Chains A and B, each alone.
Chain A
Amino acid sequence: MSLKVAVVTAGLSQPSSTRILADLLADAVTAQVSARGESVQIEVIELRDLAQDLATTMVTGGLPTPKVAAAREILATADGLVAVTPVFTASYSGLFKMFFDILDPDTLRNVPTIVAATAGTPRHSLVLEHALRPLFAYLHALTVPTGVFAATDDFGDGAEGSGLAGRVRQAASELTQQMMQAGNAVAGFVQSDADLTRRVSGNSLGSTPDFASLLKGHTGTL
């Protein structure tokens, strides 16, 4: 099987520690998937490049620009997600939130997800638990148990450094395990309800119920 992993980074600087962490996670996922004998394609979405398009979509009542439509498509078809944000004002950044705000709520149903964040100090490391996990819980994504928070110090040598590498590897392993388990149930033994895991990019019309069922109960003969 060939897997596709979307990596969304809200880093703003060039170079960006947020992007560095995103790359570390992507590399670790690639290593874990390859170790299991499969291949994976990584698609990176830099939110900095989408910032103006996101604002356009927001203020036009949802009109997607081509770049926004493409990003929606990537997320709606990804087997896994790595989502990384810098900590701004004790939470995920506004740009990060704006991206997930313009997604169709059914885009990430059941999608294995690594939540990750960067900051100057470890002071706000619980942003993963208090801000990111609840956001992804609303979207019904499957956040893996290990989130990865990296303060500036974590990129250095020593105990902190190896700590980060360990967490990165742990998260990547959990993501890979989830991705490779998905859809593996043997037909006939496990009932799969397509509706429960239906994922929608929002780029095309959903299925419409036929009018007879819409009209039911409204013909005036109660």
Chain B
Amino acid sequence: MEFGIFTVGDLTPDPTGRKSQTERERLQSIRKYALKAEEVGLDVFAQGEHHNPPFVVSSPTTNLAWIAAKTERIKLTTSTTLITTNDPVLIAEDFAMLQHVSDGRVDLMMGRGNTGPVYPWFGKDIRQGIPLAIENYHLLRKIWREEVVDWEGQFRTPLHGFTLAPRPLDDTAPFVWHGSIRSPEIAEQAAFYGDGFFHNNIFWNIEHTAQMVKLYRERYEMYGHGAKENAIVGLGGQAFMAETERQAKDFFRPYFDNAPVYGHGPSMEDFTKMTPLTVGTPEQVIERYLGMADQVGDYQRQLFLLDHAGLPEEVVLEQIEILGKEVVPVLRREFEARRPAGVRSNAPSHEELAALPADADYRQVISSPVARAAQAEEAATKAESK
């Protein structure tokens, strides 16, 4: 199983009166967190993408490439890559490059983005969010998998005779997760292609998360990618840890109460009941997150948001250390112990995918054998009726 941290790249003022970070300092911190994550044995570092204040994470692959150069083992991914407002050609290029630069230590997570004004800045309409996500991702698959692309769609100017250069590393597209909180269409999309499904449940209740994952698993199996227990699921989460529950709550409360995403709403006690946020001891975090598999089945990736709420750099670094040294080893062991034989531990690595034969499902744009068969049948019926 893969464990890691993700950053949303927010520039949040410190609510306790300490001097707040500048954009430069925040970006320096994020790079430090990525290196720290590898140092303490975490498997994944994920970075968000935003195009407006108070965030500092536009141009994600620039930052991820720096991290790739300075690390050796950790996998780099996104939380998320905007599949709606970015040009799919650009995404294809940026991530093929990142594959080469990182020797394949990359996958990515598709998201639609929930900031309304960003859409018109990139010439798009938020009301078309789902159709955009569907068309753009289908084109992205074509660009990564077909050597010469001819394409005409609704949301972008046509491509004729387009070849991606450089090709993806080992001619193998990076593995893709689809992130969704509320839209079942995205769970359906992930299931259709046999891609991973990542539910960022940090602001939502586990009952809803469980419903979305269930839908994804059932459709994954329906589309012929394998048993639903063997679908590829990831979850988000957040935590703040200290030696005692009291210490954790006392320290984190002023941050929680004043952070833009948490504050001036439900109390920390209520919020920690309703969402995965756990403020307490490492043992409490372990227990809480072990329970997630009871709700969503055995899953493959768990990411934690630790640099939230304007916490100072040295505090976040300590949180990453606790996560890597005290929490993850136990989670890793316990999750593997409960995992039945035949249920995969991880999402496929680059090496695993690169070794697939040329006619493997993964290498087809339409990876679902069920969908391909349906298409063939439809084409045959059309030909007959002529």
| A and B together in one complex | yes
Q: Which residues of A contact B (CB under 8 A)?
A: 55-56, 59-61, 63-65, 204-206, 208-212, 214-215, 217-222
Please determine whether B265 and A59 come into contact, CB atoms closer than 8 angstroms.
yes
Please determine whether B153 and A214 come into contact, CB atoms closer than 8 angstroms.
no
Please determine whether B203 and A60 come into contact, CB atoms closer than 8 angstroms.
yes
Please determine whether B264 and A59 come into contact, CB atoms closer than 8 angstroms.
yes
10 closest pairs, A vs B, by CB? A218-B135, A220-B151, A211-B192, A59-B265, A208-B184, A222-B152, A56-B266, A205-B184, A220-B153, A208-B188
Hey, what's the 0/1 contact readout for B256-275 against A, CB within 8 Å counting as 1? 00000000111000110011
**Once bound together, how far apart are the Cα atoms of A212 and B377, in whole Å?**
14
Residues of A within 8 A of B135 (CB): 218, 220
Task: Return the chain A residue nearest B131 by Cβ.
Answer: A218
Residues of A within 8 A of B212 (CB): 205
The B contact surface, by secondary structure, is helix
Q: A220-B142, A220-B153 are in contact. Are A208 and B185 (CB under 8 A)?
A: yes
Interface contacts beyond A218-B134, A221-B152: sample of 12 additional A-B pairs, CB < 8 Å, sorted by A: A55-B265, A60-B265, A60-B274, A63-B274, A208-B188, A208-B215, A211-B188, A215-B134, A215-B138, A218-B154, A220-B153, A222-B154
Hey, what's the 0/1 contact readout for B164-208 against A, CB within 8 Å counting as 1? 000000000000000000001101110110000000000111000
Please determine whether A212 and B153 come into contact, CB atoms closer than 8 angstroms.
no
Please determine whether A219 and B138 come into contact, CB atoms closer than 8 angstroms.
yes
Task: Return the chain A residue nearest B375 by Cβ.
Answer: A212
Q: A208-B187, A212-B371 are in contact. Are A63 and B138 (CB under 8 A)?
A: no
Q: Which of B187, B275, B374 contacts A212 (CB 8 A)?
A: B374
Q: How far is the CB of A14 from chain B (nearest CB, A)?
A: 25
B211 is an interface residue with CB less than 8 A from chain A: yes
Please determine whether A59 and B185 come into contact, CB atoms closer than 8 angstroms.
no
Task: Return the chain A residue nearest B132 by Cβ.
Answer: A218
Task: Return the chain A residue nearest B263 by Cβ.
Answer: A59
B130 is an interface residue with CB less than 8 A from chain A: yes
Q: How far is the CB of A38 from chain B (nearest CB, A)?
A: 34
Residues of B within 8 A of A64 (CB): 205
**Once bound together, how far apart are the Cα atoms of A114 and B111, in whole Å?**
43
**Once bound together, how far apart are the Cα atoms of A60 and B263, in whole Å?**
10
B139 is an interface residue with CB less than 8 A from chain A: yes
Q: Which of A56, A61, A65, A220 contacts B138 (CB 8 A)?
A: A220
Q: A56-B265, A222-B152 are in contact. Are A205 and B211 (CB under 8 A)?
A: yes
Question: What would be 23 A-B contacts, judged by CB atoms less than 8 Å apart?
Answer: A59-B266, A60-B266, A60-B271, A60-B274, A61-B203, A63-B203, A63-B204, A63-B205, A63-B274, A65-B270, A205-B184, A208-B185, A208-B187, A208-B188, A209-B185, A211-B188, A211-B191, A212-B374, A219-B138, A220-B138, A220-B139, A220-B152, A222-B152
Task: Return the chain A residue nearest B212 by Cβ.
Answer: A205
Residues of B within 8 A of A60 (CB): 203, 265-266, 271, 274
Q: Which of A63, A206, A219, A220 contacts B275 (CB 8 A)?
A: A63
Task: Return the chain B residue nearest A207 by Cβ.
Answer: B184
Task: Return the chain A residue nearest B378 by Cβ.
Answer: A212
Residues of B within 8 A of A205 (CB): 184, 211-212, 215
Please determine whether B185 and A214 come into contact, CB atoms closer than 8 angstroms.
yes
Residues of A within 8 A of B152 (CB): 220-222
Q: A60-B265, A60-B266, A63-B274 are in contact. Are A214 and B184 (CB under 8 A)?
A: no
Residues of B within 8 A of A219 (CB): 138
Q: How far is the CB of A60 from chain B (nearest CB, A)?
A: 6
**Once bound together, how far apart are the Cα atoms of A214 and B223, in whole Å?**
15
**Once bound together, how far apart are the Cα atoms of A61 and B115, in whole Å?**
13
Residues of B within 8 A of A222 (CB): 152-154
**Once bound together, how far apart are the Cα atoms of A62 and B223, in whole Å?**
32
**Once bound together, how far apart are the Cα atoms of A141 and B219, in whole Å?**
35
**Once bound together, how far apart are the Cα atoms of A217 and B130, in whole Å?**
13
Q: How far is the CB of B216 from chain A (nearest CB, A)?
A: 10
Q: How far is the CB of B268 from chain A (nearest CB, A)?
A: 13
Residues of B within 8 A of A220 (CB): 135, 138-139, 142, 151-153
**Once bound together, how far apart are the Cα atoms of A9 and B188, in whole Å?**
40
**A55, A56, A218, A222 pick with most chain B CB within 10 angstroms:** A218
**Once bound together, how far apart are the Cα atoms of A211 and B370, in whole Å?**
12
Task: Return the chain B residue nearest A65 by Cβ.
Answer: B274
Q: How far is the CB of B110 from chain A (nearest CB, A)?
A: 14
Residues of A within 8 A of B184 (CB): 205-206, 208
**Once bound together, how far apart are the Cα atoms of A209 and B131, in whole Å?**
13
**Once bound together, how far apart are the Cα atoms of A215 and B186, in whole Å?**
12
Q: A59-B264, A63-B203, A63-B274 are in contact. Are A214 and B187 (CB under 8 A)?
A: no
Please determine whether A217 and B154 come into contact, CB atoms closer than 8 angstroms.
yes
